[in-house]
Amino acid sequence: MLYSELAEQFDALEHTSSRLEMTAMLSHFFTTVPPENLRIIVYLCQGKLHPDFYGVELGMSDKLVLKAISSTSGTPLKETEKMWTLMGDPGAVAEQLIGKKKQMTLFSEPLTLERMVKNLLAIESADGRDSQTKKTKLLAQLLHDSSPIEARYLCRIVTGRMRVGAGSMTILDALADAFANREDRPEIERGFNITCDLGLVAETLAEKGLEGVKEMKITIGNPIKVMLAERLPSITQVVEKMGGRCAMEYKYDGIRVQAHIGKDGVKLYSRRLEDLTSNFPDIADALRKQCKAEEAIIEGECVAIDGKTGEMLPFQSVTHRRKKHGMENAIKEFPVKIFMFDIIYSDGIDVSLYPYPERRSRLGETFDLGGQVDMTTMRIIDSPEEGEEFFNEALAAKCEGIMAKSLYQDSVYRAGSRGFLWIKYKKDYEAALTDSFDLAVVGAFFGMGKRAGKYGALLMAAYDDETGRFGTVCKLGTGFDDAFLASMPELLDKYLSEERPSSVDAKMIPGVWFDPTVVLEVVAAEISISPIHTAAEGMFNSDAGLGLRFPRFTGRVRDDKGPEQCTTVHEICEMYELQEKKDSRLGE
Ligand code: AMP
């Protein structure tokens, strides 16, 4: 297959913002490509060569890509650099310069998808002393045989800036339309939720049909999409919603980890599927030693502990373990414990299908507890009063609140879903009208006065998990200290986008756009109907969306969350409804 067919498809996708059109295009395209290429094509649609959890990146720095563009197009490096700064997009620079060159030379070989992927894999695995030269050469070979459009996407892929707007949900829709029916979409999504591998789902569907997808199983090494909790504004409502009786667990303030304990070792994944094993090697070792099963998949929260008092420390302390350097010291200086709260798989059995009480007992039976490995504190609650008491105990133990969990027969582990089988209630809910929000940065406004010429405020968006799009909710200009303001370009400029990213809906026009990638934690006084924001547009008012009033950055960059894990539009709608109910009660 020629790579040009794929590049043309990317171009068409990039130029449509209608999700329906995108789905129709993709589903048609998927049926026309050779089935053996479908897996890699699905990864490439999202700018990847593997599923996210592989944790390997192409690793080409901007400098190397610039060199490759410069040498292939015969443009001096300085000039290429200048164009890049002006255009903000390596793809656009490559497209223009390769285009110019093509008018002068005609000799090139058509680029097949196979050759393109072969070189990209070689770029990915190049290491050693001359790895940089090797990488540049491999990319230059591809650019030499590329058309301008092919060059555009090549350079975006190798620099991690590929966003044609084909979110996972759109690809799943397209796969259902291409190889099954829309009614089968939940089965196909389940396949994705239990493997986190869209390419594998696509390949299975194309080769074995829906039956093949139904037979997909949880396996060690393939992370599972995490189950998430709903929220309610009072303990009374939590207990009522649970039918008067539920389990309550402390809600620990750490880093969620999904541990895949295999015969030969342990892998730890974050909720956004990053490999965290090297951040918590001591936890990985302890889990392997203390696990009585040969294989198991469990989830827990890694929390920093004060080495002297044994008290739990706030989230910030555990983030020291995210810095890759000096791990030996970090292990000593920042002791960590894992508080396990769920088991999903053990020795060939898909435990996720068991109700919560059975999973909880199995979790306890599967481990020798002690040292760094513990279970979350849990109590069965029969009344709101008991719930309040437990909540206060959780706060006294330095936790951020409680997680209520259903005890009913249907209380399975629902991979990738947010529902009322788990309900969270946090300390913040008591003080403010609303919970904190994890929002994606989609743009920046240049500041005035002291902040002139620098980013002064950010345009923040929530994620709509039904449409796969981002809707704006606030312009954020408060809560930034000088250090954060200074670090903004380094944090954000990698994601600069020449125009509004196709997955973002916005009415406000910022000074620059970013592909939604960086997630920040924001608190606000209130959610209100807003004519200038686009999240939940048309839901509560035909011409307006929902916006946050008095938003403030908490100082916490949520690098444990990707843009698709940020607060959803659905959650903001729910919070808005809760707030309105609360307000009307206050007014009674
Ligand atoms: P939030 O990040 O506010 O949506 O809250 C959900 C997160 O709470 C989960 O993803 C876990 O990281 C964390 N958590 C802490 N304690 C528990 C617990 N006992 N059960 C489930 N999740 C927990």
Query: DSSP string of 229-280?
Result: EEE-SSHHHHHHHTTS-EEEEEE--SEEEEEEE-SS-EEEE-TT--B-TTT-
How far apart CA 121 and CA 571 sit, in angstroms, is: 39
519-523/246-251 β-pairing:
unpaired
Residue 447 has a pLDDT of 82
Going by CA atoms, what residue is nearest to atom 3 of ligand 1?
424
Give me ligand 1 centre to Cα 283, in Å. 18
Nearest C-alpha to atom 10 of ligand 1 is from which residue?
A: 256
The Å distance, Cα 371 to ligand 1 centre, comes to: 22
Return the amino acid letter for 292.
K
User: Which two tokens mark 223?
Assistant: 């992370």
What's the pLDDT score for residue 231? 85
- Go through the domains of the chain in sequence order and give each one's CATH number: 3-159 (1.10.3260.10), 228-426 (3.30.470.30), 437-587 (2.40.50.140)
Q: Which two tokens stand for residue 346?
A: 């053990």
* For the CA of 256, the nearest atom of ligand 1: 12
Q: Which residues contact 162 (CB under 8 A, 6 or more apart)?
A: 44, 46, 47, 153, 156
| CA 547 to the chain's CA centroid | 23
Q: How many CA atoms lie within 13 A of 521 on its CB side?
A: 12
Which atom number of ligand 1 is nearest to the Cα of residue 255?
Answer: 12
pLDDT score for 107: 62
Quick check: CB of 521 below 6 Å from ligand 1?
A: no
Distance CA 159, CA 63 (A): 10
Exposed / middle / buried, residue 270 (Cβ in 10 Å: 0-12, 13-18, 19+): buried
What one-letter code names the amino acid at 332?
K
Q: Which atom of ligand 1 is found nearest the CA of 405?
A: 20
Is 101 noted as a catalytic residue in this protein?
no
CA neighbours closer than 13 Å in the CB half-sphere of residue 529: 9
Q: How far is Cα 580 from Cα 8, in angstroms, rounded to an integer?
A: 48
Ligand 1: centre distance to CA 251 (Å): 6
Distance, CA 428 to ligand 1 centroid (Å)? 14
> Do 124 and 57 touch, CB atoms closer than 8 A?
yes
For the chain, the first-to-last Cα distance in angstroms comes to 68
Catalytic residue among 48, 67, 251, 475: 251
Spatial CA neighbour of 505 closest among 568, 442, 439: 442
Pull the structure tokens for residue 562: 């990707």
What does each of the 588 residues of the chain score in pLDDT, given as a tens digit? 999 999 999 999 988 878 899 999 999 999 999 999 999 999 999 999 999 898 888 878 889 999 999 999 999 999 999 998 888 788 999 999 988 776 656 567 889 999 999 999 999 999 888 999 999 999 999 999 999 999 999 999 998 888 787 888 899 999 999 999 999 999 999 999 999 999 999 999 999 999 999 999 999 999 999 999 988 888 999 999 999 999 999 999 899 999 999 998 999 999 878 889 999 999 999 999 999 999 999 999 999 999 888 889 887 778 777 655 577 777 888 899 999 999 999 999 999 999 999 999 999 999 999 999 999 999 999 999 999 999 999 999 999 899 999 999 999 999 998 889 999 998 766 555 457 899 999 999 998 777 777 898 999 999 998 788 899 999 999 999 989 998 999 999 989 888 888 889 999 999 999 999 999 999 998 899 999 999 999 888 878 999 998 899 999 999 888 898 899 999 999 888 877 765 554 433
Query: Rounded distance, CA 203 to CA 191, Å?
Result: 12
Instruction: Please tell me the residue having the least CA distance from ligand 1 atom 18.
Output: 251
Shortest-distance Cα residue to atom 16 of ligand 1? 251
Around Cβ 422, how many Cβ atoms within 10 Å? 26
Would you say the CB of residue 249 lies under 6 angstroms from ligand 1? Answer: yes
Q: Is the CB of 301 under 6 A from ligand 1?
A: yes
Residue 470 Cβ inside 6 Å of ligand 1? The answer reads no
Q: How many CA atoms lie within 13 A of 54 on its CB side?
A: 14
State the residue for tokens 């686009």: 534
Q: Give residue 428's identity as a one-letter amino acid code.
A: D
Q: Which atom of ligand 1 is nearest to the CA of 424?
A: 5
Angle (CA) 579-568-192 rounded to 5° is 145
CA of 22 to the centre of ligand 1 (A): 34
The residue ranges of DSSP E strands in 491-561, in sequence order, are 496-497, 504-505, 512-514, 519-523, 526-530, 545-549, 552-557
Helices (H), 291-338: 315-318, 327-333
Ligand 1 pocket check for 269: Cβ under 6 Å: no
Q: Which positions ≥6 away from 92 have C-beta within 8 Å?
A: 152, 498
* Residue written as token pair 């000593």: 332
What is the rounded distance in angstroms from the CA atom of residue 577 to the CA atom of residue 585? 12
In the reported structure, the alpha carbon of residue 423 is separated from the centroid of ligand 1 by a whole-number distance in angstroms of 10
DSSP string, 379-433: EEE-SHHHHHHHHHHHHHTT--EEEEE--STT----TT-EEEEEEEEETHHHHSS
Amino acid making up residue 262: G
Query: What's the pLDDT score for residue 360?
Result: 98
Say if ligand 1 is within 6 A of residue 341 CB. yes
Which residue's C-alpha comes closest to atom 12 of ligand 1?
Answer: 256
User: Using a 6 Å cutoff on CB, does residue 398 contact ligand 1?
Assistant: no
Gap between the Cα atoms of 501 and 546, Å rounded = 20
With the C-alpha atoms ordered 492, 495, 501, 504, is the resulting torsion angle positive or negative?
A: negative
Nearest 5°: the CA angle 408, 409, 410 is: 90
Find out whether the beta carbon of 256 lies less than 6 Å from any atom of ligand 1: yes
- Within 10 angstroms of residue 543's Cβ, the number of other Cβ atoms is 8
**Cα-to-centroid distance, 375 and ligand 1 (Å):** 13
CA distance 42 to 26: 10
Residue 338 forms beta bridges with which residues?
302, 373
The reply to whether ligand 1 has any atom less than 6 angstroms from the CB of 251 is: yes
pLDDT of the residue at 586: 42
DSSP helix/strand/coil, 360:
helix
The pTM for the full model equals 0.78
Whether 258 is in the pocket of ligand 1, judged by its Cβ within 6 Å, is no
3-state secondary structure (DSSP) of residue 115 = helix
Residue 277 CA to residue 274 CA, distance in Å, equals: 9
Q: Is 356 in the pocket of ligand 1 (CB under 6 A)?
A: no
CA of residue 18 to ligand 1 center, whole Å = 34
